[in-house]
Chains A and B, each alone.
Chain A
Amino acid sequence: MCLGIPGQIVEITDETRLMAMADVSGVKREVSIAPVLGAGMKPADVIGEYALIHVGFAMALIDEHEAAETLKALEGLGEAQETLDAMAEGAKALEGQA
């Protein structure tokens, strides 16, 4: 829950709410990009960028190499799978009793 997971921002899904689709280890998940939009930045500026995603919020932009290294470290700790499971759990929760 505290470690976050790297993902690539692939498209903007909601300009007003500052939501975007991220690719997290091949899994698509909608995330908020509000925290990584610095002064004067537009949502489109982060398309293609990698970010550390914490509980659905892109918290820091990182480079591709850092994203890969971080993912490996998370896999070592078993946290990558845990996070992907939590995402799946979250999707189920929207549909009914999860």
Chain B
Amino acid sequence: MKIAVCIKQVPTRDSQPRLDKARTWVLEQDAFEMNEPDAYALEEALRLREQHGGEVVVCSAGPSRVAQVIREALARGADRAIHVEGDALAAADAFVVADALAAAMKEEQFDLVLTGLQSDDQGFAQTGVILAERLGLTHATIVMEVKVEGDALKVKRELEGGWFQWVGMPLPALLTIQSGINQLRYATLKGIMAAKKKDVRKAAAPAAAEPRQRIARLYVPEKGKKTEMLSGSPQEAARALVQKLRDEARVLS
């Protein structure tokens, strides 16, 4: 089976992003990592390859620094990689990224494409599904378990409130993987050495990418802390307080 895994390089979870001068994006920083749900998608792809054979191809869209997470994925066991390179992809929206990936992935005719369910930076939760539509694939989101049955798939989807559902679908397909569904492996020393020799195909980002949204302003969330005095008799004040606790603070029902 020919499996693609789309990974995104994001700022580390522990870092506090700093705003740029225009306050529409963040400053470039040194600490990046593989987007967490994407790491689980990679692990799932490696396990499927171990069961069913085939190859795992890592696909990533971003500036040259993305090579770091591509090497990491290759060290963990992916066979080769496609890097769609473009500086504008660092802050691009889901449509631009999905179109860039689709252009580079189309000719490969993958049987299965795995992505994380959303990114830790912009958190669109769109890129995978848009990519599925662009590649003409069927898809399922928030996937917990993948079973390959011949040329079809059976996947366990998470629904709200502790509910789950099995969904069957034909291959080729795209799945967005939930975080935490398997145990991640570490790169071995042998894997790290082998990664240096693995093939990374570079593709240029499509020139005329048309963004679908613009960040007008980016800011640190306003944490409101205000004191309000309730006047009136004790009865009136208590009534007003209960109303505020119910309607504004929503701690009473």
A and B, one complex?
Answer: no
